A and B are shown apart, each in its own frame.
Chain A
C-alpha cells in the first residue's frame, strides 16, 4: 500500500461525486416518498409484514433492471429479459413438478441455461453484426413460444421443496430472496468497478474504437454482457419460483418495460459506458413505492405505469434542460471539439443526459 495516502482523496472524490449525483437525488426521492407514505398510512406501512411485502416484490424488479443494465453498459439492449425469465421459471417448475427433479439440480440447470442463452444472444449479435435490438426481439419471440409450449395453459406448482422454503425464509423480517438480490447487485457493482473483465466491458461501451485499439475485444465484451444478463435473469427466475405459488405462461410478460425503467431512471446512458448499479436499485425501489402508494390509496393499477412513464419523460426533459443551461454558462471557445459532442438533438446514439454527474459503476 505504497500509495495509501492518495486513497482517501479518491474516496473523498467519490463521496463528493455521490452527493451531487443521480443516486443522491434518487435516494432523497425514495426516502421522502417512503416517509410520506408511512406517515399517511399512520405507521401501518412500517409494520413487519408491510415491509416484508414491499421487499418481496422489489426482488424481481431489481434483478431484471440489473440484467438490462449490464447489456446497456456495452451499448446493447436485451429485449428478451422478460421471456427468458418466464421461460426459465417455467422450466424449473416443469422439471420439478413433472419430472421430479430435485430443487438443487433444477436450479443448477437453470443457472447454466440462463447464461448460455444469453451468450447465444451475444454470439448472434457479434456474428451477424445485426442490431442487438432486432436479434433480441427474435429471441424474445422464440423464448416466449418455448415458454408457452412448456407451460401450456396450466399453472404449475412446483410443490413444497427447499426452493419454496427459501422463498418463505426471512432474516430480521427481511426476505432472504431480497437479500440475495442485494448481494447480486453488490457483486455486479464490484465486478463493474474492480474486475478487469468488468472494466473491459465498460471500456467497450464507452468508446468501442478506443477499446479495440487498446487490445480489448468488443465482441467478447458483448458476449460476456449478454451472458451475464442471462445469469441475472436466471436468478430472477429462480427467486420468482421460490416466492410465487405457481408459475404459468404469463410470468415474465410484464418484465420488459420495468427492466428498462430502473437503469434509465437510475442514470444509465443508453449509449453505453456509464451505468449505475446503485441508481438502478434505488430506481426500482422508487417504482415499487409508486405501486405501494397506489395500493394504499386504492387507485387503479394503471397509475403505476402512467407515473413511471411520466417520470422517465420528466427525467429526460429536466436532464436536458439542466445540461443545456450548463452549456450556456460554461461556454468557452471550442478548442476540444474532439471530446465535446456535436449539438445534434436528433442523434440516435446520444447518451441519456440525466443529471450532470454520473458514476461509472
Chain B
C-alpha cells in the first residue's frame, strides 16, 4: 500500500496502554517490540515448541487427515470467533452473547435452507444480516441506556438462548435444520488441494473453509488499519468522551462495533454448522471462553483502543494446538481447561511483570 510503518503486521494499529503513568518517554518502536511484537513472537515460539513436542511424542500429530486438517479447521472457526469478540473489545466493550449470536444467525441460515430453499451463499448472507441486526440491537441498547455492555450482552445471551431453542422446537422435529444446500458438503470436506490445482497451490491438509477466515481477517485488518471507521472505533475505545468531542459519531460507532461482532459471530456459526453438518441450537455454546482467549493472548486490550488481528489468529492457534495435542496424547480433555487457564494467567502475568520492570527501570534512570 503506501509503504509506511514497517510493522510486522499491518493490522496492528492502536497501541497498548503504558501500564504506569511514570513510564519514561520511550521511542515507539521500543514499546511496540516489548508490548506487541514480542507477545506475538512468544506465541509463535510457544506454539512451535508445542507442535514439536506433541509431534515427537506421537507421530500421528503430524497426520494430515486425522490431525492437521481438523486442527486447522478448528483454528479457522475459532479465529473468526475471536475476531467477533475483538470487534467489541476495540471499543472497550465485551460481547458475552457471542455464542448465542452465532446460534441466532445460524438459525436463520437453517431456516433459509430448509424453509426457503435458498442456495448456499444466499442463506449465508441472510444469516450474516440477522447476526448484524441482533448485534446492532445490542449496541443500540447499550448506547441508549448507558448500561455496561457486560450486563446487556449477558441479558441478550439469556434471551437468545431461550429464543433460539424455542424456534428450533417450533420449526423442526429433530431439533436441527438438516437441509443441505448444494455445495455445503464440499465446503466441509474439501481441502485446498481440491479447490486449487492439487499440490501446486494447495495442500490436502489445509481445509477450504480457512478461506473464510482469511477473508474475514483481511477485511477486519483493513477496517482497523486503513479506514476512518476503524480508527474511530479505536478512539472510542481509547476515550469515548474525547472521541465525541472530536466529532466522532460515538453512538453510531458503538452500534457498528456490535453489529460487526454479531456478523462475525454469524460467520463463525456458519463455519461450525458446515463442519458439523447441521444447524442446531447448540451452535456457539462453546464460543464464549475461546472468544476472549484468542484476542487477549494476542494482545488485544479489554479496555479498548488497541487490537491485533494477527495476534488473534496466533492466540487461537496456540489454544487449538494444545487442545489437539492433548487429544492426540490421549490425556483427556479434562486437563485441557486447566492448562488453558494456567496459560492465560501466565501470559497476563508476564505482561504485568514486564511493565513493572520497565517502571522500575524508569525510576532508576529518570
Residues of A within 8 A of B (CB): 77, 124, 127-131, 133-135, 137-146, 148-149, 152, 257, 260-261, 264, 270-271, 300-310, 312-313, 316-317, 319-320, 342, 344-350, 352-353
Does A342 lie within 8 Å of B241, measured CB to CB? yes
Q: Which listed residue (B19, B149, B159, B345) contacts A348, Cβ 8 A? A: B149
Does A146 lie within 8 Å of B338, measured CB to CB? yes
Does B169 lie within 8 Å of A310, measured CB to CB? no
Could you tell me which residues of chain B, from 219 to 263, have a CB within 8 Å of some CB in chain A?
236, 240-241, 244, 250-251, 254
- Contact A141/B241 with A257-B157, A320-B145 known, Cβ cut-off 8 Å: no
Does A349 lie within 8 Å of B148, measured CB to CB? yes
Residues of B within 8 A of A (CB): 19, 91-94, 141-152, 154-166, 169, 236, 240-241, 244, 250-251, 254, 289, 292, 296, 302-303, 333-342, 344-345, 348-349, 352
Q: Which residues of B contact A350 (CB under 8 A)?
A: 146-148
Determine chain B's interface SS by DSSP, over half rule. helix
Taking the closest CB of chain A, its distance from the CB of B129, in whole angstroms, is 21
18 contacts between A and B (CB under 8 A): A130-B352, A134-B296, A134-B302, A141-B338, A145-B335, A264-B155, A270-B148, A302-B162, A308-B155, A309-B157, A309-B160, A313-B155, A316-B141, A317-B141, A320-B145, A346-B236, A346-B244, A350-B148
Q: Which residues of B contact A307 (CB under 8 A)?
A: 162
Does B289 lie within 8 Å of A141, measured CB to CB? yes
Does B166 lie within 8 Å of A346, measured CB to CB? no
- Contact A149/B143 with A305-B158, A352-B151 known, Cβ cut-off 8 Å: no
- Contact A128/B348 with A139-B341, A309-B162 known, Cβ cut-off 8 Å: yes
In the assembled complex, the Cα of A85 lies from the Cα of B94 at a distance in Å of 25
Q: Which listed residue (B143, B151, B166) contacts A264, Cβ 8 A? A: B151
- A129-B19, A138-B348, A305-B165 are known contacts; what are 8 more A-B pairs with Cβ within 8 Å? A138-B342, A142-B341, A145-B338, A148-B333, A309-B162, A320-B145, A320-B147, A353-B147
Taking the closest CB of chain B, its distance from the CB of A349, in whole angstroms, is 7
Does A141 lie within 8 Å of B141, measured CB to CB? no
**Top 7 A-B residue pairs of the complex, sorted by shortest distance between their CB atoms:** A306-B162, A309-B159, A309-B158, A145-B337, A142-B341, A302-B165, A145-B338
Does B159 lie within 8 Å of A313, measured CB to CB? yes
In the assembled complex, the Cα of A261 lies from the Cα of B156 at a distance in Å of 12
- Contact A130/B348 with A316-B147, A353-B145 known, Cβ cut-off 8 Å: yes
Q: Which residues of A contact B152 (CB under 8 A)?
A: 313, 316
Q: Which listed residue (A77, A128, A316) contacts B352, Cβ 8 A? A: A128
